Structure 1
Amino acid sequence: MLRLALLRTRVGRHILVLFVGCVIVPVATFALLAYTLMARRLETAARETLRSESKAAGFIIFDRLTAIATELALRADAGEGASAEGSSFDFVAIERAPGSVATLHGSPQPLPALADAELRHLAQGRPLIVRHSGPRPVFFLVRKTGSGNDGFPRIWGRVLPATFLESGTGLGASMGGGNLCVLDAEKRPLSCAAAEAERATAALEDSRAGEHGWQRGDSLFLMGGFHLFLKHEFGAEAWTVTLSTPADAVRAPLADFRRTFFLGVALAGVLVFAVSHIQLRKRMTPLAELELGVRRVREGDFTTPVAVQSDDEFAVLAESFNGMASDLRRQFETVAALHEVDLAALEHRSADAIARAALNHATALLEADFAVVAFPDGDAPGTWRALARTRDGFGDGKNLFTPGAGELKDLASELQVLERGKAQPCYSLKPRITQGVEELAFPIRHRGGVRAVLLIGSAATNRFSDATRSLGRQLADQLAVGLSNESLLHELDDLSRGSLLALARTIDASSPWTAGHSERVTQTAVEIARLLGLEHRAIERLRRGSLLHDIGKIGVPTAILDKAGPLTEDERTLVQAHPVIGAEIVGTITAFRDIVPLVRDHHELLDGSGYPNGISSFAISQQVRILTVADVYDALVSDRPYRRGLAPEAAVGILREGMSTKYDPDVVQALELALFSGWAATTDTHNIVAAEVA
């Protein structure tokens, strides 16, 4: 059954119309031309036949006239008593002298006068045809019966054309069923109806002799004519003999052809439609598959190939399309892998996380059985720490990468791919992937040395194409960028921590009573935050804010800070302004604007009794509450010019007394837990700079 759904496509319809048009239109045109040519040839042959038959009829009429003239002569010889039965005349008379007429047969009739030429013709003994002047289509036949030179006596016979044209003439057979018309010299009808005679006369006048035709209603008649010359024998002007037949009768043989033609065209159309549709389906099915393939690619499916069962250009096109889709898939996977490496470098700041991001895509992207990122182990020179990815998942990569000394030299000096074939030792010592593995090692260089190595391996022969090598190099380069960024970020973090610590120590160094205060507050706040489960970014923000929380004391004279006695009101106001001063200083640095609330609000209390703004409760953030407790705790346990430092238990007791009114209970309890576990703040420089919160 034909699947007409293909005709719903514009291409399918266009191809079908073109295919059918290229067959049906030429066939129909050729058949129409053949039909027209055959019709013309039939009409030409019919006209030729009509001319021949009209000529034959003319000769028959001439012979008949001759016979009638002989009959008239015999009638004259028979005398007045002869019978006229069976003759061709309805009137016979003897004219012996002018005005002396004796009727031999029929009713007496007036005889027409003869012209001089007619008299001379009679004098020669030849019969003479004289047209009757009445309305009836008759004529007179006259012959001289004596030997005188004056034309008398002469016998007259009036001839009825219908009689001599039909009776025993054989014209019916010669006409083949056509319409015979005989016209005298004045184009008056002798044998046909007046209307047909008029049409025949008009046709003779309007057309060239022998190519006549005339119309009656919706019917066309073809006509052939012949001029019957009577002058010599009968002394009359030429008669015209015409024979006509309906054009439909001439074209009757074409009727069967016409029926057969239309049936043949219809059958040819059906056959051409069926064949063209079958061929169209063969051509459109690959196009439909390609269209589905394009839709799948547009929707992000690059893995489903286009299946075209063909041995022509469509198969080549499908193969090219599948290759393009595969290339696009690898390109998108490459972009995704590189993007994931970038994100890992920005988010995790961990070499292992960056390596895992690269390995996530390495086996599929590079069509490898395994992939390894190996790092030189700084704690054990000559050994490597490796992360591995196989088709089954991740592994720790232990003993997966063991290059020799010469290979390390190659890795350090060669920027391109190092390749090992099956006949050489293998980088990998993994038990199920040992000898006979083709491997590619991509060195990842950093500051003149090898920071890491990306290793891929496959057990297949000649697995790694030029495209795979290029993608591997691209992934290794992006991994190098990520690792370089990770190193740079760590360096920046170390620099930032060192700078903040230096600044904090500078602030604390203005007074011997506050030396190390900012560092101890920072460690205490970070430990409390860790116990409360704050996320890494929040702890990092708290660490920076804690180091700079007292930067505003730059604006407070040292004499006031170190005063052993009570502060005056003005001095107290000046001391309580240091959070505002610190916030203004920190706020001028874009990178530190996120810690402005910590610097400004670290002396605010939950009951609103703090300074500088007296905010309370939920207006105070959790990080500020942590910093407040850490700051108060270190102030309580540290020596001051006006008192000695308290023991940790006493300091915690004071904080517990202010729980729920001044201090956050959760924060105080977290501090108490840290102290109970043996934790203590330190001012060791290495611990402050390198501190990382898990």
Structure 2
Amino acid sequence: MTKNAYSFHSKVGRRIFLIFLSCAILPISALTLLSYQQVAHHLKEQSHLRLRHASKNIGMAVFENLTALNDEMLVLATLYPSHPDQFGSIFPRQQHSLDKHFISLAIIEGSGEKRPLLRDMPPARGFSAVERAHLAQGKTLFWVQFEKEGNKRAFLAAPLVSSGSGQDLLVGEISIRDLFRQSLQALSLEREVLVLSSKGAVVFGTRSFPAEWLEKAGDHLSGGVSGEFEMAGEEGGEMVGYWTIFFRGTYAADDWSVFVLEPHNSAFAALSHFRKNFYLVALLSLWVVLLFSSVYIRKTLTPLKMLKEGTRRLSEGDLSQRVEIDSADEFQELSLSFNGMADKIEEQFSTLEKTGKTIRLILADLDRDKIVDTLLTRMNRIVRCDWVSVTFERPGKGGFQTCLASTTDEGGARQRFDTDLGPSELEALRAIEEFLVTDTLGSLSVLLSPIRDLGARTCLVLPVGKEQKVTGVLILGYHLQQKPRQEDVIRTRAIADQVGIALANASLVDELANLNFDTLMALARTVDAKSTWTAGHSERVTKIAMAIGGELKLSQGELDQLHRASLLHDIGKIAVPNLILDKANRLTETEYQLVQSHPDKGVRILEPIRAYRDVLPIVAQHHEWFDGRGYPLGLKGEKICLGARILAVADVYDALISHRPYRPAREAKEVLLYMQKGAGSQFDPEVVNALLNIEDSVFVPSEAQASLPV
């Protein structure tokens, strides 16, 4: 770049300037017009965006106001069933708050009788089947009642908790204008608001609107959650932005669409002012550009072009794009800033990707150990730290357990130990709002001592839990005495929240599994308790059947199915009298038929339970013989499901090795010989072979079994 290239002291310089001047007038004029159009277009887009945001803000404010009213009603609906006799003294304490938010309140009993609580409530409409189903789920119902005179009344109805019949409701009438009051105060004077239901009915409006206006607005009700359009009219018409409030899922009500209107003249006031001064500024700018461009065009065009190209590539997703400018001026500094920004964006995208993957892995697993292992393994990829410690509740055992690992030594051993959190530690954790950065032990010495002993000087503590209950703690340790970066704290808090959800899901699955197992065990013991001779029979049969299933390499799902079927296989004997079950003599034909009916009766008992429908074939077929001579259907071979064939072997084995009123218990070797002889006739040979291969510990009789009379 030469210093005298644009010097006016030479003929070449003057000639270049004259050529540039003559060539610049046309493009600059075109650029001026294009700039004006772009400004107008940009201003229009911004106006649409502001209107959409305004409609969304109003919609969210309305939903929040409605949620607050719903919360007040739910509190009242909870108090009334608990203290119906004392409600007259409790209600006045709430009346001052309710009086500001509700026009009237009443309790409407299932019989239709109305009990006013706050002013007299005019009659409300009846409920549809969908609305009644919504209320039956314990949810609040919201609706707008349109009167013939054009008046609109809004109601909230909440089922009374523990109301007995489940049909008593707490109904409150609310002011629609009050729902919009706060948001309207923040609205500029030039803007108007219209609210339509999903059926096109006018719910609220700051002014009256003609029919053609409502018709065009109604055309946009099914056009999406939000959007904008323009309405032609006098003085340039109006610009409209809208946003939808979704009520159906929460309140079983019609959705509302909030329309915010602004006159074109108001929206483009700045553009009108700009147009008045535009020509003067454009002319002045032209001469300024002509004057200074001759000096700076070469100096500025090249680095700007490089920066523009770098920005374009970066916006297209090329995060490795960097710009190198060596001009020893602000352009070089700008290139350094650009490169720093690109580095930061690349780091942020990489971290976000790792964070998202970690959260997906955590939430996708219901195994508590795998959740913790994922967190310990991947945490250092997301935030900078030297140690990670996770403390969580021990399922079914009470207390807490801690897993601690170093992030700088990925192959190093991890520590797992029990942690005794006392009332003081739990209270200190509950007092932490979001996180705690500490370089001392303080009241959390039990939690922090292990990680401090490894060399941590600063700890980031993030409690995990719901409401006021602490269910776990995530701790990051730092070797140096430093304050964690704010972005690391935010990411760690987000991960801690997801860990809390994942651990809660794992605990819920454990609780459901335990509840299911306990229920099955209770049902099995109920059946076995009919006779002292069959006490523990179902549990022993289950133990043998599961051992056979393991020997046959059944999948975990098949083993779970076999486990449930084994516990419930004799549930049909509930319908068999004890006199028959305990009879020492030979059964009559009628008695024998009654005993043979217990598989069918077991199926009928379990049929209504959807969770047990997959075990019905096993329960129904566990007395079928492999050669087809069994009951109740006489099935043969592999037409008998595998679970029933396994259960048949386990059931007969335990029956023969146990005492019965009509015979003494047989020796295990004698029973096994009997099973071998029955292979191919009564039993599936493959199942019998599996029985012979399982460990002897499965066949050891319990003390109760051995003590029964012979």
Please, what TM-score do these two structures have when normalized by structure 2?
0.49
What is the deviation of 1:422? 8.6
C-alpha RMSD over aligned residues: 4.4
* Paired position in structure 2 for 1:339: 360
- Contact conserved, 2:402 with 2:419, CA < 8 A, in 1? no
Tell me, in whole angstroms, the C-alpha distance in 1 between the residues paired with 2:379 and 2:638: 49
1:632-691 per-position Cα deviation (integer Å, ceiling 9, x unaligned): 11111122333222122211111111224443344334433445246536599xxxxxxx
1:230-286 per-position Cα deviation (integer Å, ceiling 9, x unaligned): xxxxxxxxxxxxxxxxxxxxxxxxxxxxxxxxxxxxxxxxxx9xx999987755655
Equivalent residue of 1:513, what SS?
helix
1:477-531 per-position Cα deviation (integer Å, ceiling 9, x unaligned): 2222222232333222222222211111222223333232212111221233334
What is the deviation of 1:606? 2.8
* Paired position in structure 2 for 1:330: 351
Q: 2:385 aligns with which of 368, 373, 382?
A: 368
Q: Is 2:455 the partner of 1:434?
A: yes
* Paired position in structure 2 for 1:416: 434
Equivalent residue of 2:532, what SS?
coil
Paired residues, what number? 412
What is the deviation of 1:389? 4.8
Aligned AA (1:410): A
- Contact conserved, 1:556 with 1:575, CA < 8 A, in 2? yes
User: Structure 1 460/665 Cα, relative in aligned 2: closer, same or farther at 3 Å?
Assistant: farther
Tell me, in whole angstroms, the C-alpha distance in 2 between the residues paired with 1:331 and 1:416: 21
What pairs up with 1:309-328 in 2 under 5 angstroms? 309-310=324-325, 311=331, 319-320=340-341, 323-328=344-349
Q: Is 2:494 the partner of 1:506?
A: no
What is the deviation of 1:362? 1.5
Q: Is 2:296 the partner of 1:306?
A: no
Structure 1: which 5+ residue stretches go unaligned?
1-19, 31-271, 298-303, 685-694
Q: Is 2:543 the partner of 1:523?
A: yes
User: Structure 1 415/621 Cα, relative in aligned 2: closer, same or farther at 3 Å?
Assistant: farther
More off after superposition, 507-516 vs 398-407: 398-407
Equivalent residue of 1:610, what SS?
coil
What is the deviation of 1:566? 3.9
Tell me, in whole angstroms, the C-alpha distance in 2 between the residues paired with 1:552 and 1:402: 47
What pairs up with 1:41-440 in 2 under 5 angstroms? 286=307, 289-290=310-311, 293=314, 296=317, 305-310=320-325, 311=331, 319-320=340-341, 323-345=344-366, 348=367, 351-375=368-392, 385-393=402-410, 397-398=414-415, 410-411=428-429, 413-421=431-439, 427=448, 429=450, 433-434=454-455, 437-440=457-460
Aligned AA (1:335): G
Tell me, in whole angstroms, the C-alpha distance in 1 between the residues paired with 2:570 and 2:676: 24
* Paired position in structure 2 for 1:26: 22
Tell me, in whole angstroms, the C-alpha distance in 1 between the residues paired with 2:433 and 2:24: 75
Equivalent residue of 2:365, what SS?
helix
Tell me, in whole angstroms, the C-alpha distance in 1 between the residues paired with 2:619 and 2:458: 60
- Contact conserved, 1:523 with 1:681, CA < 8 A, in 2? no
Aligned AA (1:26): S
Aligned AA (2:361): E
- Contact conserved, 1:306 with 1:322, CA < 8 A, in 2? no
Equivalent residue of 1:642, what SS?
coil
Aligned AA (1:356): D
User: Structure 1 407/640 Cα, relative in aligned 2: closer, same or farther at 3 Å?
Assistant: closer
User: Structure 1 277/527 Cα, relative in aligned 2: closer, same or farther at 3 Å?
Assistant: farther
* Paired position in structure 2 for 1:646: 666
Task: Pick 1 or 2: higher relative contact order, CA cutoff 8 A, min separation 6.
Answer: 1
- Contact conserved, 1:528 with 1:670, CA < 8 A, in 2? yes
What is the deviation of 1:543? 1.4
Equivalent residue of 1:627, what SS?
helix
- Contact conserved, 1:444 with 1:453, CA < 8 A, in 2? yes
Tell me, in whole angstroms, the C-alpha distance in 2 between the residues paired with 1:645 and 1:380: 39
- Contact conserved, 1:504 with 1:519, CA < 8 A, in 2? yes
What is the deviation of 1:460? 5.2
Tell me, in whole angstroms, the C-alpha distance in 2 between the residues paired with 1:673 and 1:496: 30
* Paired position in structure 1 for 2:56: none
Q: State the identity %.
A: 32
- Contact conserved, 2:544 with 2:698, CA < 8 A, in 1? no
Equivalent residue of 1:419, what SS?
strand
Aligned AA (1:636): L
What is the deviation of 1:378? 10
Equivalent residue of 1:372, what SS?
strand
- Contact conserved, 2:437 with 2:459, CA < 8 A, in 1? yes
Equivalent residue of 1:393, what SS?
coil
What is the deviation of 1:559? 3.9
Tell me, in whole angstroms, the C-alpha distance in 2 between the residues paired with 1:410 and 1:475: 21
* Paired position in structure 2 for 1:468: 488
User: Structure 1 600/488 Cα, relative in aligned 2: closer, same or farther at 3 Å?
Assistant: same
What is the deviation of 1:307? 2.0
1:375-426 per-position Cα deviation (integer Å, ceiling 9, x unaligned): 5789999996424252432655438999998766523543432322399999
- Contact conserved, 1:344 with 1:357, CA < 8 A, in 2? no
User: Structure 1 309/601 Cα, relative in aligned 2: closer, same or farther at 3 Å?
Assistant: farther
- Contact conserved, 2:310 with 2:322, CA < 8 A, in 1? yes
Structure 2: which 5+ residue stretches go unaligned?
1-15, 27-292, 326-330, 705-710
Q: Is 2:639 the partner of 1:594?
A: no
Q: Is 2:687 the partner of 1:667?
A: yes
What pairs up with 1:530-541 in 2 under 5 angstroms? 530-541=550-561
Equivalent residue of 2:437, what SS?
strand
